[in-house]
């Protein structure tokens, strides 16, 4: 099952990588829909696996493994997963789901772009002028985060409930 | 959409707004000219181009504004130090015709690059 | 419901904090003084009475150190016109003594007893401003008739090697004034400010968000290329510049500026601008003049003699010379 989700995420990611983006650095991040679906149905641990596999295998297939692109991708994924982990812990402690798919979507998208930006800024383009891009990137990621969350929510509601075993 | 979601959305919007305000205010480039003469202070924007005539004890000084910068175009003083100081563009820049008791200062939307100039 | 209201209140508070007009970190005040526009930049609260005190102190200083008029120096000059010696007013003793020491350490390149020379070149007063050089004979006469301050004996009275001295501290008075104003501000609790007398400045403390940052004007630059280099200055540091690009006249294609070489009576050639960094504004002022007159060949030597470690010189061809320590401090130097 993990393999199935991972494969799906990888395919979506690679297809999206092939699409031109109007603004460099901004992609809808449709593969994140899979991450959210897995998180909502199976929890953080499995979602983390899916993300890890997606980042690694995509990089290998696209030939970007161990390049700066890979580093950015990994940084974004790491930040995003960290945020989702925090939320899952919060939910565990609170005993209920404070955030819905929309909250998860916003958190994971904004943290993803922030992680990428931070690495890009610190390692590749230390120019302070780069900072002016940050609010633009965050706005886009906020919007896309809500969009992918909407998709994830709709997919989850159409799936059969998770078996209890 | 839960209550927590809405709260998060609002906070993120505020954060992004704050970042825009903080980062997008152009540092350095001045937006406004404050002209001090004996009869008071005038404020002028640095766009569009214009010439301003001011009166002092020695006579008329003319300030020129063009392309977001300002200078003394002419002044009745003998040493012409004011005219020679040339175009001023940075937020915080000052220029003066001391004998004619006229000075101007540029202020900008953001932080000026320098707190003072040595010349 | 109560939670929602609290959340809303917090959001409103956050929104207000984010969107209100930022309080200026630094306040600026400009006054005409010392023959220029003096700018005070203060990062601490500046009460209006203190500004009035500053202006009063500046007026008193101008009167005291003006070579003509009816202040202490003017009256001393009147006496020295026909006598080699005269009693030294208390108010002038410290300043004249310091100037004499700087005269010596600058090997005579800074010499405030050359007031007669300054006067015939006409740069000391707007009304005397010239458009052509004074006749060579007048320069010769002014030069030979002026005893040097370096050789003066000081105490309760001043004794020079001849008559006709006209003391003019134009090359160091701004520095002294800036030191006095800084001290005045400090006495009144100001710890973070810059006093900038038309491009000659001294700072104390720092801005709330970073150190004070100063740009050094390029002697031939304008508009976007106006700044030669910049640096962050530390608590108490003064930055003084002497240049040929403010007070000058052009005659038959030659530039005659206000920094006269005491050795030959003519504007010093060899430099376009000189900048000195030091904790004493008075010394920085005199040193910037001496550095300008020294030119690239003698710069390092004279600066070392004067105890100045941080200096920058742009020579007549636009070449840049600076002490190693200064190069380290400067940013953006070509």
Q: Are C291 and C242 in contact (CB under 8 A)?
A: yes
Q: What is the distance between the alpha carbons of residues C42 and A150, in angstroms, rounded to a whole number?
A: 53
Coil, helix or strand at residue C193: strand
Task: Say if B116 is an interface residue toward chain C (CB within 8 Å).
Answer: yes
Q: Which of A106, A135, A142 is the closest to B20 by Cβ? A: A135
Strand partners, C124: none
* Alpha-carbon gap: B110 to the closest alpha carbon of chain C (Å): 10
Q: What is the distance between the alpha carbons of residues B51 and A56, in angstroms, rounded to a whole number?
A: 64
- Position B27 scores a pLDDT of 53
Residues of chain A with pLDDT under 50: none
- Position A27 scores a pLDDT of 73
pLDDT band for position B47 (50/70/90)? confident
Please check the confidence at residue B113 and state whether its pLDDT lies above 80.
no
> Which residues are CB-contacts of C56 (< 8 A; sequence separation ≥ 6)?
none
- CB contact under 8 Å between B24 and A132, yes or no, is yes
- Please identify which residue in the block is written with the tokens 């990588």: A17
Q: Which of B8, B20, B23 is the closest to A106 by Cβ? A: B8
- CB contact under 8 Å between C207 and B115, yes or no, is yes
| Cα C266 to the center of its chain, rounded Å | 21
- Position A129 scores a pLDDT of 67
- Position C24 scores a pLDDT of 72
* Alpha-carbon gap: B33 to the closest alpha carbon of chain C (Å): 14
* Alpha-carbon gap: B93 to the closest alpha carbon of chain A (Å): 23
- CB contact under 8 Å between C246 and B84, yes or no, is yes
Q: Are C230 and C217 in contact (CB under 8 A)?
A: no
- Position A62 scores a pLDDT of 83
Q: In what order do the strands lie in the sheet with C157-159?
A: C85-87, C157-159, C153-154
Mean predicted lDDT score pLDDT of chain A: 86
Q: What is the distance between the alpha carbons of residues A129 and A115, in angstroms, rounded to a whole number?
A: 18
* Alpha-carbon gap: C18 to the closest alpha carbon of chain B (Å): 6
Q: Do chains C and B touch (3 or more CB pairs under 8 A)?
A: yes
Of C11, B9, B5, B21, the residue nearest A141 (C-alpha): B9
- CB contact under 8 Å between B113 and C243, yes or no, is no
Q: What is the ipTM of this complex?
A: 0.87
- Position A85 scores a pLDDT of 94
- CB contact under 8 Å between B10 and C11, yes or no, is yes
- Position A9 scores a pLDDT of 86
- CB contact under 8 Å between B24 and A97, yes or no, is no
Task: Say if B98 is an interface residue toward chain C (CB within 8 Å).
Answer: yes
- CB contact under 8 Å between B117 and C217, yes or no, is yes
- CB contact under 8 Å between A135 and B9, yes or no, is no
- CB contact under 8 Å between A142 and B23, yes or no, is no
- Position C57 scores a pLDDT of 97
Coil, helix or strand at residue B65: strand
Mean pLDDT by 10 residues, chain C (334 residues): 62 63 77 94 92 96 95 96 94 95 95 93 89 95 90 94 92 96 96 96 92 94 81 97 94 95 94 97 97 97 97 96 96 88
Residues of B in contact with A103 (CB under 8 A): 2, 4-5, 8
* Alpha-carbon gap: C311 to the closest alpha carbon of chain B (Å): 13
Q: Are C150 and C99 in contact (CB under 8 A)?
A: no
Residues of B in contact with C273 (CB under 8 A): 119
Q: How many CB atoms lie within 10 A of CB C16?
A: 9
DSSP letter for each residue of C139-178: HHHHHHH---GGG-EESSEEE-SSS--B---TTTHHHHHH
Q: Do chains A and C touch (3 or more CB pairs under 8 A)?
A: no
- Position A165 scores a pLDDT of 62
Search chain B and give the residue with CA nearest C276: B118
- CB contact under 8 Å between C223 and B69, yes or no, is yes
- Position C26 scores a pLDDT of 87
- Position A160 scores a pLDDT of 81
Q: Which of B1, B13, B17 is the closest to A102 by Cβ? A: B1
Q: Are A82 and A118 in contact (CB under 8 A)?
A: no
B window 33-72, beta carbon within 8 A of C = 36, 69
- CB contact under 8 Å between B119 and C224, yes or no, is no
Q: What are phi and psi of B52, to 5 degrees?
A: -120, 130
* Alpha-carbon gap: A134 to the closest alpha carbon of chain B (Å): 8
* Alpha-carbon gap: A123 to the closest alpha carbon of chain B (Å): 20
Chain B interface test: which of A99, A137, A147, A152 (most B C-beta within 10 Å): A99
Search chain A and give the residue with CA nearest B25: A132
Search chain B and give the residue with CA nearest A98: B4
Share of chain B above pLDDT 70, in %: 90
Residues of B in contact with A142 (CB under 8 A): 9, 12-13, 16
Share of chain B above pLDDT 90, in %: 50
Average confidence (pLDDT) over B49-62: 95
For A119-135, what is each residue's pLDDT tens digit? 888 888 766 667 778 88
Residue A19, both tokens: 């699409």
Q: Which of B17, B36, B98 is the closest to C18 by Cβ? A: B17
- Position B16 scores a pLDDT of 87
- CB contact under 8 Å between A135 and B8, yes or no, is no
Q: What is the distance between the alpha carbons of residues C313 and C319, in angstroms, rounded to a whole number?
A: 8
- CB contact under 8 Å between C32 and B77, yes or no, is no
């Amino acid at each position: 099952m993990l393999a199935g989700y991972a494969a799906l995420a990888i395919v979506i990611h690679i297809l999206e990588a092939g699409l031109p983006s109007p603004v460099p650095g901004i992609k809808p991040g449709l593969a994140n829909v899979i991450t959210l679906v897995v998180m909502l149905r199976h929890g953080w641990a499995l979602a983390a696996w899916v993300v890890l596999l997606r980042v690694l295998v995509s990089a290998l297939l696209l030939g970007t493994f161990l390049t700066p692109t890979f580093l950015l991708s990994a940084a974004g994924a790491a930040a995003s997963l960290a945020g989702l982990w925090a939320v899952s812990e919060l939910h565990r402690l609170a005993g209920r789901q404070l955030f819905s798919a929309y909250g998860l979507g916003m958190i994971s998208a904004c943290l993803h772009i922030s992680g990428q930006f931070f690495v890009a800024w610190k390692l590749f383009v230390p120019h302070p002028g780069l900072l002016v891009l940050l609010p633009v990137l965050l706005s886009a990621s906020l919007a896309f985060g809500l969009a992918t969350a909407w998709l994830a929510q709709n997919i989850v509601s159409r799936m059969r409930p998770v078996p209890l075993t | 959409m839960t209550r927590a979601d809405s709260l998060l959305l609002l906070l993120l919007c505020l954060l992004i707004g704050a970042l825009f305000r903080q980062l997008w205010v152009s540092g350095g480039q001045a937006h406004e000219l404050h002209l001090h003469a004996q009869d008071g202070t005038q404020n002028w924007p640095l766009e569009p181009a214009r010439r301003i005539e001011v009166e002092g004890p020695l006579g008329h000084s003319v300030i020129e504004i063009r392309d977001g910068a300002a200078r003394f175009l002419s002044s009745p003083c003998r040493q012409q130090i004011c005219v020679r100081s040339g175009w001023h563009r940075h937020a915080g820049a000052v220029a003066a015709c001391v004998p004619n008791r006229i000075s101007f200062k540029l202020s900008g939307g953001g932080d000026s690059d320098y707190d003072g100039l040595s010349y | 419901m109560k939670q929602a209201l609290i959340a809303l209140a917090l959001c409103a508070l956050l929104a207000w904090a984010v969107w209100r007009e930022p309080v200026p970190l630094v306040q600026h005040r400009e006054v005409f003084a010392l023959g220029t526009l003096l700018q005070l930049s203060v990062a601490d609260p500046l009460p209006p009475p203190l500004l009035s005190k500053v202006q009063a102190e500046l007026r008193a200083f101008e009167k005291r150190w003006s070579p003509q008029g009816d202040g202490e120096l003017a009256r001393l000059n009147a006496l020295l016109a026909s006598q080699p010696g005269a009693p030294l007013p208390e108010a002038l003793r410290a300043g004249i003594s310091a100037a004499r020491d700087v005269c010596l350490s600058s090997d005579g390149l800074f010499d405030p007893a050359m007031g007669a020379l300054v006067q015939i070149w006409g740069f000391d007063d707007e009304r005397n401003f010239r458009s052509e050089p004074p006749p060579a004979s007048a320069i010769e006469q002014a030069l030979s008739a002026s005893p040097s301050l370096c050789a003066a004996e000081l105490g309760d009275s001043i004794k020079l090697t001849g008559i006709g001295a006209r003391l003019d501290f134009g090359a160091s008075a701004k520095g002294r004034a800036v030191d006095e104003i800084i001290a005045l501000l400090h006495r009144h609790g100001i710890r973070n400010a810059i006093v900038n007398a038309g491009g000659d400045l001294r700072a104390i403390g720092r801005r709330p968000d970073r150190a004070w940052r100063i740009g050094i004007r390029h002697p031939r630059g304008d508009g976007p290329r106006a700044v030669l280099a910049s640096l962050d200055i530390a608590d108490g540091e003064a930055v003084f510049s002497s240049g040929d690009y403010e007070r000058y006249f052009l005659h038959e294609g030659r530039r005659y500026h206000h920094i006269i070489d005491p050795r030959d009576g003519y504007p010093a050639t060899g430099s376009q601008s000189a900048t000195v960094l030091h904790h004493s504004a008075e010394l920085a002022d005199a040193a910037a003049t001496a550095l300008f007159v020294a030119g690239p060949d003698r710069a390092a030597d004279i600066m070392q003699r004067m105890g100045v470690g941080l200096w920058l010189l742009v020579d007549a061809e636009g070449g840049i010379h600076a002490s190693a320590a200064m190069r380290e401090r400067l940013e953006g130097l070509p």
